[in-house]
Amino acid sequence: MKMTAKNLLDDLYARSLSVTNSAKALDAKSDAELLNRHDPRAWNALECFEHLNRYSDFYLPEIRKRMEASSCEASELFKEGWLGGKFARSLMPREPEQLNKMKTFKAMNPTVNVADRDIIRRFLADQKELLQLLEIARQKDLNKIRTSISISKVIRLRLGDTLRVVIYHNQRHLQQATRASITDS
């Protein structure tokens, strides 16, 4: 995939705003709705948020650090990397029946049995930071800046791919949290 950096960042910004709005809507739900499980093995809405918070703990500082360390001028075009493109496409939000299930690493697998709205507020603060990072990224080369990934410091993705991975992952789990919060009453 090849596209202008501006179009990519505009798309990712719009997706992040949508995620933020969905998170705010979920924050207005009852404790019972946030802790609802349709299946004993499925996450409740708060677990979806906590999972995303754990990933943000890695990716937001990593993205910021790599952008601050770069003196590369902004790129006009973005061309996805082979691995980054594959990874991003695998996380793209889809209809529930089309989702490819993925195993979560143990450290990223949350258990939340008590209604703690600070989990959602922390996610919203991370979203605000992510939107700021997307604005900073407009002045950076999305192809040349490389970021480590959470599962390996050795594997590095292009900044544009990393931003896609993080934002598609957020969308995917916000959809999951929304589905989980629907009670059968």
Give 16-44 pLDDT, tens digit per residue: 999 999 999 999 999 999 999 888 888 99
Task: Return d(Cα 132, Cα 146) in angstroms, integer.
Answer: 19
Give 54-112 pLDDT, tens digit per residue: 999 999 999 999 999 999 889 899 999 999 999 999 998 776 655 556 556 455 557 76
Sequential DSSP letters for 115-150? --THHHHHHHHHHHHHHHHHHHHTTS-TTT-EEEET
C-alpha distances in Å from residue 87, one per residue of 1, 44, 82, 168: 13, 25, 9, 10
Task: Return d(Cα 124, Cα 53) in angstroms, integer.
Answer: 10
Candidates 1.10.10.10, 3.30.750.80, 1.20.120.450, 1.10.1040.50; CATH matching 2-180: 1.20.120.450
pTM greater than the 0.75 cutoff: yes
User: What average pLDDT does the chain have?
Assistant: 90
Instruction: Return the beta strands (E) in 35-141 as ranges.
Output: 77-79
Q: What angle do CA 90, 169, 155 make, to 5 degrees?
A: 70
pLDDT of residue 150: 83
Task: Return d(Cα 11, Cα 22) in angstroms, integer.
Answer: 17
Give 96-129 pLDDT, tens digit per residue: 655 556 556 455 557 767 778 999 999 999 999 9
